[in-house]
Amino acid sequence: MAALLLLTLAWAGLAAAPAPAQQAPVKIVAFGDSLTAGYGLPAEAAFPARLAAALKAKGHAVEIANAGVSGDTASGGLARLDWSVPEGTDAVILELGANDLLRGIDPKVTAKALDAILAKLTARRIKVMLCGMLAGKNMGADYEAAYNAMFPALAKAHNVLFYPFFLDGVATDRALNLQDGLHPNAEGVDIIVKGILPKVEELIAQVQAARAS
């Protein structure tokens, strides 16, 4: 009888115990240019929205803010960084440099701006994933080599996650781009999301590990 009473009390205590608090969502800022902003697409088809949907479908609690500005360069991103990435941000997906390429900006200028962005974000203890771009042969061998080497070098220098080519599987495919041939259509965005998803899950894991430490 005494054992039964103790068991009953134990079960009652478990029933009365409060449920564990739900883990706070990981707050991510997608910080980039028109490729992030979703040029020519409805908001729900833009990269940040589609990425958030894909992550939630896999059970991740996330909030992704769209901080993409069409036409932005790396230097432009640096100028607006402080107000585009608010306090409370856990992670940033950094996608800048495509417009620098289109304008033929010296890769040294682009690298300097991206370096400053990465330094500021890491100083704020914000986890970062840097997305690379690739220059075409039409830019000349010297420009192509300097531009393409810039992204992996920066990722290594700042010890951040690196996704080598944001437009992987989409660039130059007419069926996956708008008529301008530069910006992905809705189907193209979904291809980008599918490719980048595992790396973003690594980014989320970094945030969660930092919270637990």
What local confidence, expressed as pLDDT, does residue 33 receive? Answer: 98
Closest Cα to residue 12, out of 23, 20, 22, 4? 4
Distances (CA, A) of 56 to 50, 60, 201: 10, 5, 11
Q: What is the DSSP letter of 180?
A: T
3-class SS at 164? Answer: coil
φ and ψ at residue 165, rounded to 5 degrees: -145, 105
What local confidence, expressed as pLDDT, does residue 14 receive? Answer: 37
Alpha-carbon distance of 65 to 85, in angstroms, equals 9
What local confidence, expressed as pLDDT, does residue 1 receive? Answer: 43
Alpha-carbon distance of 60 to 24, in angstroms, equals 11
Alpha-carbon distance of 81 to 120, in angstroms, equals 9
How is the chain split into domains, by residue range?
24-212
What CATH class does 24-212 carry? alpha beta
Alpha-carbon distance of 102 to 104, in angstroms, equals 6
Alpha-carbon distance of 23 to 4, in angstroms, equals 36
Q: Which residues are catalytic?
A: 34, 180, 183
User: Can you tell me which residue has the tokens 């890491």?
Assistant: 122
C-alpha angle 36-40-44 in degrees, rounded to nearest 5: 65
Please list the pLDDT of the chain residue by residue as tens digits (213 residues): 444 333 333 334 434 444 334 679 999 999 999 999 999 999 999 999 999 999 999 999 999 999 999 999 999 999 999 999 999 999 999 999 999 999 999 999 999 999 999 999 999 999 999 999 999 889 999 999 999 999 999 999 999 999 999 999 999 999 999 999 999 999 999 999 999 999 999 999 999 999 999
The contacts of residue 12 (CB under 8 Å, 6+ apart) are none
CB 120, CB 112: distance < 8 Å: no
